[in-house]
Chains A and B, each alone.
Chain A
Amino acid sequence: MDPVALAGAAAVRRAIPTGRLEELVFETAAAALADAGLSRADLDAVVLGASDELDGRSISSMLTAAPAGALLKDEAKVPDSGLHALALGVMKVLSGSAATVMVISWGAPSECSREAIQRTALEPFVERPVGTIDGVAFGLTAAAYLERHGRALADLDRRADVRHARVGGDRGGDGWIAYPLRRRHVAPVVDGAAAVVLVSGRPPAGAAPAGWIRGLGWASDVHAMAERTPGAWPALEVAAARALGRAGIAIADVAGYEVDDRTVIHEALALEGLGAAAPGTAFDALDGELGSRVNRHSGDGFAGIPVHCTGLWRLATVCAAWRDRPGGGPLLVHDSVGLGGQSHAVVVAEAVRE
């Protein structure tokens, strides 16, 4: 595909929430425009990646579209994730419908009970009473992975120790999430937002892109976990293959990985689904050279996962890093969403050359 320029970006992560949601949205959008050297008047379209349930009101875009920059602009909301919203923004540019697009996503878990929301996503007659919310689904996924590949609980602990040492602070404790996952294996969630400004291959005057979107892919699996491949993410393999194919590169060309690492099992499954590690070997690979190429720019999720916008937040953070240090090879940016990682999105991004 033709590359789409990342003209500007902004990423916000707040361990202690401040301000109203629309203020968070406005400040993030304004910062991305400032980084791009553009104004709201330059925007042709705005794509939101947000969840009504997390935002606490039906059709939350009624309130947030304008602070996102969409007043009297083309606007659409993609609730799946920030990276899914990015995909629509890229397609609007590639189709010629828009030359400059704001893509913005956020999540404010401080305002809601995420477990209550997760419960309402379950089928009401069988699944809800069983209670297979995210933590349980993560546990099932982790257990299946360990069983499938003959890995040990010690692998989870070892990786968690490395990551906690990296970020410092609270280690999460020994309390159970769902076997085999304990609190120390799971990242804390925080409020956050991210925005990127996309422009077509010929950026407008005044815009100095930080990087390029060279490829992207996204794919979903079925809802019922019992019908999926246990302990693996085949939908991610599909998404990654499409992203790499569109970028015209192979996995060996990838310089780094910015992946969903909200649990230690997410990190392993992500790297294996992307093709960075063979099935069952991610924990070993992370002990080696691969470990230094994972979330190098956006940092470890154990420092706090800005929910829903996680993937776009990582991409925006990468753009900021590129402003300071241009160059380097292509990166794969990944996010997973849905029960047990039902859906995935992958972006191939690369900095402008020095």
Chain B
Amino acid sequence: MSAAVRAAIVGVGETAYRTHHPDATYPELAQAAGLAALAMAGMTPADVDAVVYSMAPTHFMGVTDAQLWAVGPVGGRHKPLMRLHTGGATGGSAAEAGYHHAASGLHDCVLVVGADKVAETRDAQFILNLIWDPFFERDFALNTVTMAAIQAVRHMEQYGSTEEQMAEVAVRSWRRAKRNPRAHLRGDISVAQVLESPLMSWPLKRYDCCPRSSGAAAVVIASERVIRERGLDAAWINGAGALANTVFMGDRLGPRRLTDMGDWDELRGAAATAYRQAGITDPARQIDVAETYAPFSINEIMAVEALGLCAAGEGGPAIAEGRFDEGGEVEVNPSGGTLCANPIAVTGLVRVCDAALQLLDRAGGYQVPGAQTAVATAVGGSFQFQTCMVLGREPTGGKS
């Protein structure tokens, strides 16, 4: 990556993810993750010279601009602090903004932090209906579940993906999450259980869908100068890409479409940028771990295809065959992924956290042995915003 300054993640902090955190206020949650990330880096809040705050729509908590409450608790008083908000992709965008803070040469140590309490509202999908046009789209029950269902149908129609293949994604995610102490959901479930679980919006059943989670996440991003001076372990940010598309899903389905809703071309484009910067030419061989933001089972199938880990249309069969399981060429979502925890404002950041933990040898029970390169993604809006970050044990390109 041809950055002005190389930068890397040197600290990761996360709370556990649950439906509720009645023991902590919103700022306290963010503070817990921030302090944990700093502790891993051997730093204190005094070492931080800028804060990037990851906060998506605040309406789940019924509070506007909740990040402003957290300025003091995250150590941001009298420091640069900016919020990123790209819907579900917010955490990915915040991590990339944190990278730009350091790579620009303007900051040496950046805390990227955020929190969410999605279950403060009784019905997150009611809130998520508010992202749509108030005069037309809201009235036909468009929300993230129904939106994902439309994508799933599109993928099934194009490639013949099946409900059973989607169920395989859920089974594997829940099984992997058993190794992650912070996961919201975990356990042994069967394909039959997934298929028999309550229908949400065909073809998606309850186990095909992520939970409503609360929790916080943070990373510390440092410049190469600080990393060398302090002798810090580092997960180098070697590539960062993002791509936005039109909100209108019909424009991604019709005969004159520029991209196809069933293909996650936005992620394909974001990954192309990140891969080019990181020197990734053969993703399936060069990437060891992928943490994909896949809030619905169909999304993991679409993500592995868009990331180039398999060909378009092969995602479902490849997952069902175990190609992305433990010991496979690329391990996908070893943490259990978004299907097992989705604190929306930071879910993209959680993906970055879990990718970085792999390269810092801090992933504990879900550590992928010898992982050298990891990729983290995030998606938001009407699946129209995608980010992709490539991390490595060694820096590629840029100026030292």
Chain A residues with a Cβ under 8 A of chain B: 1, 45-46, 52-53, 56-59, 61-63, 65-66, 70-80, 84, 87-88, 90-92, 94-97, 117-118, 120-121, 123-124, 217-224, 227, 234-235, 238-239, 242, 246, 338-339, 342-343
In the complex, how many angstroms separate the beta carbon of B46 from the nearest chain A beta carbon? 14
Q: Is the CB of A94 within 8 A of B104?
A: yes
B384 at the interface (CB under 8 A from A): yes
6 contacts between A and B (CB under 8 A): A1-B105, A58-B87, A58-B130, A71-B245, A76-B84, A97-B100
A342 vs B6: C-alpha distance in the bound complex, in angstroms? 32
Interface string of B241-253 (1 = CB under 8 A from A): 1111111000000
CB distance from A216 to the nearest CB of B (A): 8
How many Å lie between the Cα of A59 and that of B80 in the bound state? Answer: 24
Question: Which of the residues A45, A59, A75, A246 comes within 8 Å of B106, measured between beta carbons?
Answer: A246
Cβ B78 vs Cβ A121 within 8 A:
no
Residues of chain A with a CB closer than 8 A to B62's CB: 120, 124
Residues of A within 8 A of B243 (CB): 72-75
A77-B84 in contact (CB<8A) = yes
- Nearest B residue to A215 via CB reads B106
Give bound CA distance, A200 to B101, whole Å.
Answer: 16
Q: Nearest residue in A to B127 (C-beta to C-beta)?
A: A58
B377 → A minimal CB distance (Å) = 15
Which of B67-75, B181-189, B287-295, B309-317 interfaces with chain A? B67-75
Partner of B57, one of A59, A75, A342: A59
Q: Which residues of B contact A235 (CB under 8 A)?
A: 77-78
Q: Return B89 CB to nearest CB of chain A, in Å.
A: 9
Q: Which A residues lie within 8 Å of B101 (CB)?
A: 91
Q: How far is the CB of B131 from chain A (nearest CB, A)?
A: 5
* C-alpha spacing A45/B131, complex, angstroms: 23
Q: Is the CB of A78 within 8 A of B77?
A: no
Q: A63-B247, A96-B103, A220-B71 are in contact. Are A53 and B64 (CB under 8 A)?
A: yes
CA distance A1 to B103 in the complex (A): 12
Question: Is B83 interfacial (CB-CB < 8 Å)?
Answer: yes
The A interface is mostly helix, strand or loop, or mixed, namely: mixed
- Interface bits B70-104 vs A (CB < 8 Å: 1, else 0): 11100011111111111100000100110111011
Q: Give the 4 A-B CB pairs with smallest separation, nearest first.
A: A75-B244, A95-B103, A94-B104, A222-B72
Residues of B within 8 A of A76 (CB): 84, 86, 93, 96-97, 242
Question: For the complex, what is the distance from the CA of A56 to the CA of B135, rounded to whole Å?
Answer: 12
Report the separation of the CA atoms of residues A137 and B396 in the bound assembly, to the nearest whole angstrom.
49
How extensive is the interface on chain B, given as a class? 35 or more
Choose one: B4, B70, B99, B131; the contact of A59 (CB below 8 Å): B131
- Find out whether the CB atom of A74 lies under 8 angstroms from the CB atom of B242: yes
**Once A and B bind, how many residue pairs between them come within 8 Å at the CB atom?**
190
Given known pairs A97-B100, A124-B62, A338-B68, the reply for A59 and B56 (CB within 8 Å) is yes
Q: State A352–B283 Cα separation when bound (angstroms).
A: 45
Q: How far is the CA of A242 from the CA of B259 in the complex (A)?
A: 43
A59-B381, A91-B104 given; A65·B244 CB < 8 A: yes
Contact residues, B54-70 vs A (CB, 8 A): 56-57, 59, 62-65, 68-70
CA distance A235 to B132 in the complex (A): 37
- B138 vs chain A, min Cβ distance (A): 9
State A46–B131 Cα separation when bound (angstroms). 21
CB within 8 Å of A: which residues of B?
A: 1-5, 56-57, 59, 62-65, 68-72, 76-87, 93, 96-97, 99-101, 103-106, 127-128, 130-134, 240-247, 258-259, 266, 269, 273, 380-382, 384-385
A59 CA to B99 CA, complexed, in Å: 23
A residues less than 8 Å from B4 (CB atoms): 94-96
CA distance A120 to B244 in the complex (A): 29
B68–A121 touching, CB < 8 Å = yes
B336 CB to nearest A CB, Å: 26
Known A80-B83, A95-B3, A342-B68; contact A234-B78, beta-carbon cutoff 8 A: yes
Distance in angstroms between the alpha carbons of A201 and B79 in the assembled complex: 27
Instruction: Please determine whether B244 and A70 come into contact, CB atoms closer than 8 angstroms.
Output: yes
Contacts of B81 in A (CB 8 A): 80, 218-220, 343
Q: A1-B105, A66-B246, A94-B104 are in contact. Are A78 and B64 (CB under 8 A)?
A: no
Residues of B within 8 A of A58 (CB): 57, 59, 87, 127-128, 130-131
Determine if B78 and A219 form an interchain contact, defined as CB atoms under 8 angstroms apart.
Answer: yes
> Which residues in B have their C-beta under 8 angstroms from that of A96?
1-4, 103
Interface pair A219/B80, CB less than 8 Å apart: yes
Given A94-B105, A97-B103 in contact, is the A218-B82 Cβ separation under 8 Å?
yes
Q: Are the C-beta atoms of A74 and B68 separated by less than 8 Å?
A: no
Tell me the bound Cα distance from A306 to B333 in angstroms.
45
Task: For residue A110, give the distance in angstroms from its CB to the closest CB of chain B.
Answer: 16
B83 smallest CB distance to A (angstroms): 5
| CB closest residue in chain A, given B71 | A220
**CB pair B84 A78 closer than 8 Å:** yes
Question: Contacting A56 at CB < 8 Å: which of B68, B93, B134?
Answer: B134
Most B C-beta atoms less than 10 A away, residue of A90, A94, A117:
A94
Residues of B within 8 A of A123 (CB): 63, 69
The residue on A at minimum CB distance from B78 is A238
The residue on A at minimum CB distance from B55 is A79
How close is A130's CB to chain B, nearest CB, in angstroms? 15
Most buried by B among A80, A95, A220: A95
B269 & A57 in contact (Cβ 8 Å cutoff) = no
Contacts of A338 in B (CB 8 A): 65, 68
Known A-B contacts A58-B130, A76-B97, A121-B64; the reply to A223 vs B69 at CB < 8 A is yes
Measured CA separation A76–B259 after assembly (Å): 20
How long is the Cα–Cα vector from A90 to B62 in the complex, in angstroms?
33
Query: A79 vs B114: C-alpha distance in the bound complex, in angstroms?
Result: 14
Known: A73-B244, A220-B79, A339-B68. 13 other contacts (CB 8 A): A53-B64, A58-B57, A58-B128, A58-B131, A59-B87, A66-B244, A76-B96, A88-B82, A95-B103, A97-B100, A219-B78, A224-B72, A342-B68
